[in-house]
Structure formats: C-alpha cells, structure tokens
Amino acid sequence: MYRVSKVLNNNGVIAIDMDENKEYVILGKGVGFGKKVSQRFDKPEGCTTYRLEQETERGSAKELVKGIEPEYLEIADAILT
C-alpha cells in the first residue's frame, strides 16, 4: 500500500510505500486521477515504479523530480519501457 506524497498529474504521483517507508515515482494511466495528498492506495496493474534514492551533485532525486514538468517524466517512462 502506498500513501500519496504529491500528485504530479493524472498519470503520475510521488508516493511513499507504507511497508518500506521509501519514496517512489509511480507512472501509469490514470494513477493520479482524483488522488489527494496523504490518500492511501494500492498500485494499479501496468504502472511503472521508480525509486527516488540517488543523491548527485545536482541535489537529491526528490528535489530534481519536483522541478521537472510531469509531461517529461511521462516521455522518459515511455522511452524506458
């Protein structure tokens, strides 16, 4: 089960895994639709999950994701899949 940390758009959310207490970017068709911050949900089938773990000289992954437009995350997801 996940808890919404931030809704990026209808197709993406930043969520915290309730079991591991780690943050993930979840991308998939309609995964963010109607979601509110702190809302709990199960990950739907067909979603791609990315973990926010690396720290680089540009900053933490979480801060980098906040500065990227959601459309670019969807494009990157499509390229990787």
Burial tier of 38 (Cβ tally within 10 Å: 0-12, 13-18, 19+): exposed
C-alpha–C-alpha distance, residues 3 and 68, integer Å: 21
- 70 or 19, higher pLDDT: 19
User: How remote is the C-alpha of 74 from its chain's centroid?
Assistant: 10
Helix (H) or strand (E) holding 64: helix 61-66
Q: What's the confidence (pLDDT) of residue 14?
A: 92
For the record, the structure tokens of 47 come out as 């979603």
For the record, the structure tokens of 23 come out as 């943050």
Length of the chain: 81
What pLDDT digit, counting tens, does each position of 45-76 carry? 999 999 867 667 777 777 777 788 888 888 88
